[in-house]
Amino acid sequence: MGGLLIPHGLGAVSQGWRKVVIVGTGQVGMACALTMAVRQRADELVLIDADGQRAAGEALDLSHGLPFGEPLRVRAGGYAEAAGAQVVVITAGARRGADESRLALLKKNAAILREIVGALQAVCGEAVWVVVSNPVDVMSYYAWKWSGLPKEKVVGSGTLLDMARWQTLLAQELGVAASSVHAPVLGEHGDKAVPLWSRVTVGGAPWEMPIPEQERLWGQVLRAGQEVIRRKGSTSYGIALAVDYLVGAILGHQERVMPVSCLAQGYYDLGEVYLSLLAVVNRQGVSRVVNIPLNDREYSGLQTAAQVLQQARIGIEA
């Protein structure tokens, strides 16, 4: 494939009432709901959970703060209430333990996802589905495979949080604002994430550091999630801010470039696998993929990530 920006989807784009559905009202789901409410991302939030009473309680609690912000409709409901949504955010799933890999969650969360996809198919065929549940790359693949939606309509949060953690650590190392650091991450949201050291810039200027220092800093990124879980039991705020950023790009039709999990088939000699690539995100989901050149180390890392993710699917009925 040639060119810098490669078309990934063909859907039309429409604007209007911003309705977001969040499936799963655990800590991550509600952190996402609160962040979107504070940042005024939507006109309507619908909360869905297997525990309907919990979803109703969360909606009631959140609604009590609405007088302090812009108008927003918040309610709990069943899957029928998801009709007409522009974005569906799927956070439901088992919680990861401090010493548990994201891939170890796969069988448990795949079973949960299959039920969710079956319920959403009939009512949310026009929405962009944002998958957050771990292991997010494999879960995104199955959300696409089981739903029958166009590939651009199913997007995983992918390495967006890995990138944010890396940029935060680099910024602390350099003593600059994290927003001044650009450090993209491709591949798996997990141990096989691929940091693009060749593309790190600070204030737009290329920046390099010795290999041992690279390994030290990247090791901290890989351990970051486990460190949070070990101290407080789960991660929620960082991923919620990342999801809000992604949903904002979709609802606002922002054409924003970010690493998200998408169908990577045909890019970088990859097969049928979901993993993070740099993509242009707008109201149709992933509209284009940025064909950024990779060095040998980065290319090899991406191939390894794809192999690990494809291997993880063995034993799960497609």
CA dist 33 → 91, 169, 180, 254 (Å):
11, 27, 27, 20
Binding-site positions for substrate: 96, 102, 134, 165
Residues at the annotated binding site?
A: 24-29, 49, 96, 102, 109, 132-134, 165
CA distances from 101 to 142, 229, 243, 313 (A): 19, 12, 21, 15
Task: Convert 274-288 to b/e letters by CB count within 10 Å (16 or more is b).
Answer: bbbbbbbbbbbbbbb
Closest CA to 258 of 204, 181, 309, 183: 183
Active-site residues: which are they? Answer: 189
Contact present, 28 and 132 (Cβ < 8 Å): yes
Rounded Cα–Cα distance for residues 192 and 190 (Å):
6
Residue 253 Rama label (left phi>0; alpha psi -120 to 50; beta): left
Q: Where are the beta strands (DSSP E) in 56-197?
A: 73-76, 87-90, 128-131, 154-156, 181-182, 185-187, 193-195
Is 157 within 8 Å of 239 (Cβ atoms)?
yes
Structure tokens at 89: 């955010």
For the annotated binding site for NAD(+), the residues are 24-29, 49, 109, 132-134
Query: Whole-angstrom Cα distance, residue 190 to residue 293?
Result: 22
Q: Which of 159, 144, 29, 153 is nearest to 87 (CA)?
A: 153
